Structure 1
């Protein structure tokens, strides 16, 4: 009995290739346009996104019905999801690109205005030794705090779907970044953007200690609210997050508000930028607090346009406008900064920055341990 053999797709390609080669010149090289199989094998295939009912409640967001990444995948899948379309893609990329913009703008500003901007140099005024430009250290700390909060936020949104433990840990890290940025802003605004009247007022005298305390309280309250309340979140969970951050912002922006209220905006190129950053922050706070526009059309803004994305974009614009205003204020205030505040006061203010960072980090670690213990009890 004669068997029939059906040619496969590979056999057909081989036959076609053989016919082509026999009909062509033996000296003509063959060019393959297919990607190497080893390269394709090295790239893991990412699973498709799923709906909200397919992930645990911890990972769900109100009125966002699709675009979730399934938990429990290897870490590399979440890293590579940076190039996948899901409901966190724009939130991650917005803060990543903003962090790059902040770093590049500060680098260009430093290059244009000499090495002393970086806060230190190996060659002193006499040509030898090590010197510190104390007047520029707060600006360095501000740029560091901005890049830190943007990077921590991007990492949290990119990797949080790995597991419940990772979710808590990464958002605690996000809150640490926010607290660091709050105090970095307070430090720079107090020293560069305030006028003499505000500086000599009672508020100006207690500003930096109060700003450090409120930044730590904001971090602690956000960590506590994240760990304490479960979905569906009650209203006081949002209040627990928003109120400490709101009070901290009102304090931190007070030197700018005073200048905007008492000076002509044409007197400094920084003042219109300060007004812009205040408006952008208030808009971002609205979208952080209210789930719009997705509330009006659940599922319609899952990938593009939901409230948290708008919050991210507006906050990025606020940060970039604020940085530009502070660079202008730095050039205006730098010559008289040591005379007004004194070198010891500036060094003490800058030394409080790593102390606050340590306190917030220890708070987040303690909260992470509580979250880990709580998750272990729930799994029994």
Structure 2
């Protein structure tokens, strides 16, 4: 880098400091981070530099930085889901069905647990990732494992209710999803998998794993017909769920919208560009992905409840 380029960087940093001072709570710019913390260069500021302290990392819950949205967008919903699951099973479902069999309870509980676990692991990771390289890597693996658990349990939960009279399909597809989930888990254990270079591969893997749920849906359409499948599998809700998951994963992989607020220009252009750093704290791709995941989980719950009621209607028919 020549002298003029260095001057531009220094002046640009001075400009950005007027928006988010690095002195408050130790927030830093991207270029000030250690290499292991550098993941998304489109987000220029608002970073918590490596703390090497769990206490300091957890203290970041109480001030605003560029992971605040990622933490709370999954921490709060995880608590809501856990409480809502207990309330729904204890007070709501008995209003419709006089008796819940044990396996029906377990099916609802396994999805509720998976959603709670996934969101909790995600929020914990985003909170402790500032600790150190080793802790961030371990937290990242927990985050991926939570995603795999959610996808696996989501797919199996639909199979249990939709194919309750077809044990061959129910157990066959459930085993398939367990195998795919195990393969994904094995891949995430590779340290390289969590690096920014593998971001598109990660997104593609999770998308393909989720899309494997299309196979039993196609089988159900061939067996029962489209209209019956819509009722038995809660198909409309599942379509919305898939659209939300895929949209979030694509935005995350492409780093939209923060890539549109990142410019490689001279100082004058930066000063006159109101978009620079606009998504550093709020509204960047990872936060959008988190919100869409929560909405998608709600859509899955609605589809699962529809599957359950349709199953009981079929039993009474």
Structure 1 counterpart of 2:292: 314
Asked which structure has the greater CA Rg, the reply is 1
Going from structure 1 to structure 2, the CA distance change for 1:334 and 1:176 (only over 3 Å counts) comes to farther
- Partner SS, residue 296 of structure 1: helix
Q: Contact between 2:173 and 2:216, CA under 8 Å: does it hold in 1?
A: no
**Pairing 1:220–2:186 present:** yes
Measured in 1, the distance between the counterparts of 2:218 and 2:261 equals 37
Measured in 1, the distance between the counterparts of 2:258 and 2:218 equals 33
Measured in 1, the distance between the counterparts of 2:229 and 2:104 equals 25
Tell me how far 1:253 sits from its aligned partner. Answer: 4.6
Tell me how far 1:271 sits from its aligned partner. Answer: 4.1
Measured in 1, the distance between the counterparts of 2:218 and 2:279 equals 35
- Partner SS, residue 189 of structure 2: helix
Unaligned runs of 5+ in 2: 1-22, 263-276
Aligned mate of 2:209, from 222, 245, 248: 248
Aligned mate of 2:35, from 45, 57, 66: 57
TM-score w.r.t. the length of structure 2 is 0.75
- Partner SS, residue 138 of structure 1: helix
Structure 2 counterpart of 1:182: 151
**Pairing 1:291–2:251 present:** no
Provide the aligned C-alpha RMSD in A.
Answer: 3.2
Structure 1 counterpart of 2:11: none
How many residues are treated as equivalent by the alignment? Answer: 273
Going from structure 1 to structure 2, the CA distance change for 1:193 and 1:83 (only over 3 Å counts) comes to farther
Q: How does 1:191-202 map to 2 (within 5 A)?
A: 191-194=160-163, 199=166
TM-score w.r.t. the length of structure 1 is 0.64
Measured in 1, the distance between the counterparts of 2:205 and 2:233 equals 31
Going from structure 1 to structure 2, the CA distance change for 1:294 and 1:133 (only over 3 Å counts) comes to same
Aligned mate of 1:324, from 280, 292, 302: 302
Q: Contact between 1:185 and 1:252, CA under 8 Å: does it hold in 2?
A: no
Tell me how far 1:246 sits from its aligned partner. Answer: 2.5
Q: Contact between 2:30 and 2:41, CA under 8 Å: does it hold in 1?
A: no
Measured in 2, the distance between the counterparts of 1:174 and 1:254 equals 26
Measured in 2, the distance between the counterparts of 1:274 and 1:257 equals 13
- Partner SS, residue 27 of structure 2: coil
Q: Contact between 1:194 and 1:256, CA under 8 Å: does it hold in 2?
A: no
Tell me how far 1:267 sits from its aligned partner. Answer: 5.2
Tell me how far 1:68 sits from its aligned partner. Answer: 0.5
**Pairing 1:99–2:99 present:** no
Unaligned runs of 5+ in 1: 1-44, 121-131, 340-380
Tell me how far 1:194 sits from its aligned partner. Answer: 4.7
**Pairing 1:141–2:110 present:** yes
Mean Cα deviation higher: 165-174 or 258-267: 258-267
Measured in 2, the distance between the counterparts of 1:76 and 1:53 equals 25
Going from structure 1 to structure 2, the CA distance change for 1:84 and 1:257 (only over 3 Å counts) comes to farther
Deviations 1:123-150 (A, max 9, x none): xxxxxxxxx7123212111111110010
Measured in 1, the distance between the counterparts of 2:231 and 2:178 equals 31
Structure 2 counterpart of 1:305: 283
Deviations 1:306-328 (A, max 9, x none): 11111111111101121122123
Mean Cα deviation higher: 187-196 or 297-306: 187-196
Structure 2 counterpart of 1:48: 26
Structure 1 counterpart of 2:226: 262
